[in-house]
Amino acid sequence: MLKITHYLGRTQDKVHDTLTLPFELRRKGRLRIFSDSGAEVALFLQHGPWLAEGDRLKSECGRVFGVRAGLEPVVTAHAPDWPSFARACYHLGNRHAGLELGPLWLRFAPDHALERQAEQLGLRLERGRAAFHPEGRAPDEEEDEHP
């Protein structure tokens, strides 16, 4: 099993293999998984940023792995206008849910309470599968969890 111990960030290092991970796994610093080529790997990363699409990781033996965001179930909520979008971001953000933001849309993991609240705020919901890239942790949350 390969041990991945170094977070390289978004470097141009040549990638030997890739790890396709949903968001929940990209948050973890300790993990045992299989790479996209089938190699068994173990992540042993220090505190740091959540892993994101395009990041590079390095194993103890020097192999470089690229990180890919895997497709996962998501709800994309579309706002009819900017005031509705701002209200939805405020109220859903207060629930401490992971939110990915785009122009007049926001995305979150399926959750009946969030979906109901988004609809009550006038957003149109679209359920599907997509790579999920929620906004990063707030500064006071940095020390609470592993990546």
**What confidence category does residue 137 fall into, taking pLDDT thresholds of 50, 70 and 90?**
low
* Residue range(s) in the chain whose domain bears CATH number 2.60.260.20: 2-69
Q: Are 70 and 21 in contact (CB under 8 A)?
A: yes
* CA–CA separation, 139 and 49 (whole Å): 11
* Residue range(s) in the chain whose domain bears CATH number 3.30.70.790: 71-131
Q: How many CB atoms lie within 10 A of CB 39?
A: 16
Of the candidates 3, 96, 67, 50, the residue with the CA atom closest to the CA atom of residue 108: 96
pLDDT tens string 12-68 = 889 999 999 999 999 888 999 999 999 999 999 987 778 999 999 999 999 999 999
Instruction: Please tell me the CATH code under which domain 71-131 is placed.
Output: 3.30.70.790
Per the model's pLDDT, the better-predicted residue between 76 and 98 turns out to be 76
Mean pLDDT of the chain: 90
- Amino acid identity, position 54: G
Instruction: Please tell me the CATH code under which domain 2-69 is placed.
Output: 2.60.260.20
